[in-house]
Amino acid sequence: MSLLFAATGLIGGMSTVFTSLWSFFSRAPYFNAPRFAGSRVWRLVYAAGLVLGAAAWVVSMGAPEHTSVPLWQLGVGGFIAGFGARLSNGCTAGHGICGMASLQAPSIASVLIFLATAMATARLVRALA
């Protein structure tokens, strides 16, 4: 079970963090729904902790291997991935970590479907190679 959920009962899925942070910038009713706007402060602190934790890792352990992808493309890609995860009601990592830890049937189904699709695709690609 995820530590955040076990300690507080709060679910720290990143797609919900992404959506709740949009409530700071958008007046759209969807982003300002009470479930997002009401939790945006702790989610902002949670996201900041993740960023600061990664920064602490880089400072203490050194930067990981470099990528040749420009920083702006990484940012755009992250935005698109976050938007897509929000549209699909969460990403497979969030379902796998947060949803399965709290034994939510839709999350278990999502992860099983993802894994089955990934295994079938890998098998197909290997057979065609």
Q: Report the pLDDT averaged over residues 16-32.
A: 84
Residue 3 pLDDT level (bands cut at 50, 70, 90): low
In percent, how much of the chain has pLDDT > 70?
91
Q: Are residues 80 and 126 in the same domain?
A: yes
Q: Does the pLDDT of residue 24 top 60, yes or no?
A: yes
Find the domain containing 47 and state its range.
1-66
Burial of 95 (0-12, 13-18, 19+ CB in 10 A): buried
Q: Are residues 41 and 71 in the same domain?
A: no
> What is the value of pTM for the model shown?
0.59
Q: Report the pLDDT averaged over residues 10-16.
A: 74
Looking at residue 1, its pLDDT comes to 41
Residue 6 pLDDT level (bands cut at 50, 70, 90): low
3-state secondary structure (DSSP) of residue 15: helix
3-state secondary structure (DSSP) of residue 104: coil
Looking at residue 2, its pLDDT comes to 53
3-state secondary structure (DSSP) of residue 56: helix
Q: Are residues 40 and 71 in the same domain?
A: no
The 10 Å Cβ neighbour count of residue 34 is 8
Q: Are residues 3 and 60 in the same domain?
A: yes
For residue 23, give Cα distances in angstroms to 40, 77, 126, 129. Answer: 8, 21, 44, 47
Q: Are residues 74 and 129 in the same domain?
A: yes
Cβ contacts of residue 102 below 8 Å, gap of 6+? 1, 2, 5, 11
Model pLDDT for residues 66-118, shown as the tens digit of each residue: 778 888 888 888 888 777 777 777 777 777 777 777 787 888 888 888 889 98
